[in-house]
Amino acid sequence: MSDNLARTEPVPFAPFIGEGISISLAVPMTRYSLRARQAQALETLLGVKVPKKIGATEEGIACLGPDEWLLRAPAGYNMVSGAGLPVSLVDISERAICLVVEGPRSAEILRTRCPLDLDKFATGRATRTIFETVEIILLRLGEDRFHVEVWRSFAPWLWASLTTAAHH
């Protein structure tokens, strides 16, 4: 294997800046898909409380389903082994990227192709949904700031779709 391999991102490093909107690639991060039938097993493993209500987020952990969580942490974060606990940990850091959609028009742009009622989607919430036909995980980090997690292979299409919506 070559020592000269370089990572390329599927979307531009330069942000898209439009009237009332900015769309940019988030800093690299570590992501884990966590599964457990009992949240307590994850809490034992992680040493922190995990959100138990679907859609809630806490300490970088989003509850996506009754037995599913997404942990997002700074790049380089290493998960401790879940050996001996009834949990599943899968490092999905390379599977997805995150686009940051922010500005006064952020909800408007996302609404163009996402069926969620973003007026009722509170800050601090997270959910798996679709943008047109592509599965995304949408996190609302502020009134006008969203993180959109998308599989790397769909990222160029999502970038084009978001920036096209922002032009109109």
Q: Which domains, from first to last, does the chain contain? A: 16-28+94-167 (3.30.1360.120), 29-91 (3.30.70)
**149 pLDDT more than 90:** yes
Among candidate residues 122, 90, 104, 111, the one with its CA nearest the CA of residue 161: 111
* Residue 113 pLDDT grade (very low, low, confident, very high; cuts 50, 70, 90): very high
Task: Using CA atoms of 50, 51, 54, 55 in order, give the dihedral in degrees to the nearest 10.
Answer: -110
pLDDT digits (tens, 9 = 90+) for 1-54: 556 655 678 888 889 999 999 999 999 999 999 999 999 999 988 889 999 999
pLDDT digits (tens, 9 = 90+) for 72-112: 999 988 877 777 889 999 999 999 999 999 999 999 999 99
pLDDT digits (tens, 9 = 90+) for 44-54: 888 899 999 99
Stretch 154-158: mean pLDDT, rounded? Answer: 95
* Residue 161 pLDDT grade (very low, low, confident, very high; cuts 50, 70, 90): very high
Give the list of residues 6+ apart from residue 137 with CB closer than 8 angstroms, or none. Answer: 62, 64, 70, 96, 126, 127, 128, 129, 148, 149, 150
pLDDT digits (tens, 9 = 90+) for 61-71: 999 999 999 99
